Amino acid sequence: MKSYILPEFLVERDDYRCIRCEVCVRQCAFEAHRYDADEDAVFVDESKCCGCLRCVTLCPTRALTVRRNPTQTPDNYNWTREQLMDAYKQAETGGVLLTGMGCGRELPIYWDRIVLDASQVTNPSIDPLREPMELRTWLGAKPDRLDSQGEGKRRRIEGMGPQLKLETPMMFSAISYGAISYNTCEALARAAAELGTYYNTGEGGLRRDLYKYGRHTICQVASGRFGVHADYLEAAAALEIKIGQGAKPGIGGHLPGEKVSLEISRTRMIPEGSDAISPAPHHDIYSIEDLAQLIYALKEATHWTKPVSVKIAAVHNSAAIASGIVRAGADIVAIDGIRGGTGAAPTRIRDNVGIPIELALAAVDDRLRAEGIRNRASIVVAGGFRNSGDVIKAIALGADAVYLGTPALVAMGCHVCRKCYTGKCNWGIATQDPYLSKRLNPELAARRLVNMINAWSHEIMEMLGGMGINAIESLRGNRLRLRGVGLSREELDILGIKHAGE
């Protein structure tokens, strides 16, 4: 069948610059470049290019340019080029459209419509280079009041759950071994340890080589229960029950058999080469009481020494659901917004299901406060953070900390080309191909992660100082330091902020 799909990108080679080194040929796992020895020329099949810019970045003579294919489809507000191409693709394959990474649709990004305050005159701003500035954050259940019981070593505080100590309110989101390479997992683990924060294993289990970073690891328990065993729970600093994911609320996951290598099969405890399917629901959780049972089972299994988080996708009733989760005994509620990333999701689900994290966060924080149970759990939000400005706004809206997924991958080289589900990530991230995954050096990638988080932390300190605040807890939930720009009354009400100028 003749394909009607237009190449998304044009790959242009400046032949005068090209030295026929074939770097581009070797770097493109999609095989877009081809060297013809007879003609001593490099040819491109643009239909294979996904715009990951690997060849462009590595070409030693900068001979390559990749740009959007300028070919125009007929002007039509409804039938844009994307809509046409998607329809052709489905007409040609009969399949569900698959994609990777988070929803990139033109849904409002509230972070961009919210601005921060700063001190002038009546309240001195603080320079974080000269004055103390504290970002330390604790995640876990806290009582409403300090009431200590017992003496000396046996002393405990009534209602105080086990706590995670974060030196900066940013953690790395759940991304499973399987979706990403081992090197990438190692880089995340190392960086989390160096930064004094945590990374999350996702649902793919934990390779024993990484147990040494356990004190900085949040281990996930998802509907497939892959890789969940006593040592795994023991190795973790905290556990997370994954109910949903922002990129694909309401559906499960599917790691194709080709990606299930020997090591992955061992880690996930499934046969090599078999598909790893996470069912949409947990088949032992059909109601909130069932969730409570699993929370307590995990607490019991770890002798009540580890906080248990429950992660949900941001959907319409997130506030009520979060309240139920807190009452079911979770120490942390993690909420993942519609722009959250994924290794693979059906395009239509990713782009149409769920709500923006800003609104879900505001609603959840409000609800937990209205019910007087905000102290009983920490709120962690994920899905759609791009820079420290987004992060600090989330904290001012009421989050205790954020999970960074896509930004962490970007720090390591990801160009958000959305082809993670193919397993051919040219940047060595979302792949199990040893030829590709060795492109990512865990030590260098960890350095990039640490640099980025340190830079963001510093920016957060600057902004806090500008507001005359020297401890992050004084901004958490302090929505008076936020203003909306160009938002409707309804949006402002839900976000619980005033309009700029008010």
Partner 1 sequence: MFRGSSFNAPSRFFRDDKDFSGCSIFGMMDRGGGKVNGEPVIKAIANMKERSNGLGGGFAAYGIYPDLAEFYALQLMFEDECARSRAEEFIRRSFEVAEAGPIPTRSIPEVTDIPLLWRYFVRPLPTCLQEEEGEDDYMVRAVMHINVNIEGAFVFSSGKDMGVFKGVGFPEDIGRFFRLEEYEAYTWVAHGRFPTNTQGWWGGAHPFNILDWSVVHNGEISSYGINRRHLEMFGYVCTLHTDTEVIAYAVDLLLRRHGLSVDDLAMVLAAPLWEQIDRLPRGKRERATALRQIYGSLLMNGPFSIIISNRTQMIGLTDRIRLRPLVAGRAGKMMYISSEEAPMHLIEDGLERTWIPSGGEPIVAEMEVGTGMRAGVGA
Which residues sit at the interface with partner 1, rule CB under 8 A? Answer: 119, 121-124, 126, 131-132, 134, 136, 138, 142-148, 155, 157, 160, 163, 366, 369, 372, 374-375, 467-471, 473-481, 496, 498
The interface with ligand SF4 within residues 429-468 (CB under 6 A) comprises 429-430
Beta strands 253-255 and 332-336 are: unpaired
CB of 13 to ligand SF4, least distance (A): 5
CB of 82 to partner 1, least distance (A): 39
Q: Looking at beta carbons only, is 19 or 370 nearer to ligand SF4?
A: 19
Q: Annotate each residue in 47-86 with x if it binds ligand SF4 (CB under 6 A) or - if it does not, as one string.
A: --xxxxxxxx--xxx-xx-x--------------------
d(CA 359, CA 495): 6
CB of 264 to partner 1, least distance (A): 39
CB of 123 to ligand SF4, least distance (A): 43
CB of 202 to ligand SF4, least distance (A): 14
CB of 43 to ligand SF4, least distance (A): 11
Q: Looking at beta carbons only, is 131 or 289 nearer to partner 1?
A: 131
DSSP readout, 415-448?
A: ---S-GGGT--TTSSS---HHHHTTS-HHHHHHH
State the angle between helix axes of 357-370 and 388-397 in degrees (0 to 180), rounded to the nearest 10.
Answer: 30
Q: Looking at beta carbons only, is 420 or 446 nearer to ligand SF4?
A: 420
d(CA 48, CA 406): 24
Measured in Å, how far apart are the chain's first and last C-alpha atoms?
Answer: 61
Map 298-352 to HEC letters: HHHHCCCCCCEEEEEECCCCHHHHHHHHHHCCCCEEEEECCCCCCCCEEHHHHHH
Closest CA to 302 of 238, 214, 240: 238
CB of 63 to ligand SF4, least distance (A): 4
Beta strands 308-313 and 238-242 are: parallel
Both tokens of 348, joined, read 């239509």
Bridge partner residues of 172 (DSSP) = 199, 404
53 binds, options partner 1, ligand SF4, none, Cβ within 5 to 8 A by partner type: ligand SF4
Among 3, 4, 5, 20, binds ligand SF4 (CB under 6 A): 20
**Any residues with CB less than 8 A from the CB of 17 and at least 6 apart, and which?**
61, 62, 63
155 binds, options ligand SF4, partner 1, none, Cβ within 5 to 8 A by partner type: partner 1
CA 321 to chain centre: 21
Residue-wise burial string across 23-53, b where 16 or more C-beta atoms lie within 10 A, e elsewhere: bbbebbbbebbeeeeeeeebebeeebbbbbb
Q: Looking at beta carbons only, is 422 or 470 nearer to partner 1?
A: 470
Q: Looking at beta carbons only, is 73 or 148 nearer to partner 1?
A: 148
Both tokens of 11, joined, read 């790959």
Residue-wise burial string across 179-195, b where 16 or more C-beta atoms lie within 10 A, e elsewhere: bbbbbbbbbbbbbbbeb
CB of 47 to ligand SF4, least distance (A): 10
Q: Looking at beta carbons only, is 252 or 496 nearer to partner 1?
A: 496
244 binds, options ligand SF4, partner 1, none, Cβ within 5 to 8 A by partner type: none
Among 10, 21, 160, 471, binds ligand SF4 (CB under 6 A): 21
469 binds, options ligand SF4, partner 1, none, Cβ within 5 to 8 A by partner type: partner 1
Bridge partner residues of 42 (DSSP) = 35
Q: Is residue 411 at the binding interface for ligand SF4, with CB under 6 A as the rule? A: no
The DSSP code for 77 is S
Closest CA to 237 of 180, 166, 291, 295: 166
Q: Is residue 414 at the binding interface for ligand SF4, with CB under 6 A as the rule? A: yes
Q: Is residue 419 at the binding interface for ligand SF4, with CB under 6 A as the rule? A: yes
Among 411, 417, 460, 469, binds ligand SF4 (CB under 6 A): 417
146 binds, options partner 1, ligand SF4, none, Cβ within 5 to 8 A by partner type: partner 1
Q: Which long-range contacts (CB under 8 A, 24 or more apart) does 34-41 make?
A: 41/15
427 binds, options ligand SF4, partner 1, none, Cβ within 5 to 8 A by partner type: ligand SF4
Among 142, 216, 339, 415, binds ligand SF4 (CB under 6 A): 415
What residues make contact with ligand SF4 under the rule CB under 6 A? 11, 13, 18-24, 27-28, 30, 32, 42, 49-56, 59-61, 63-64, 66, 100-101, 409, 414-420, 425-427, 429-430
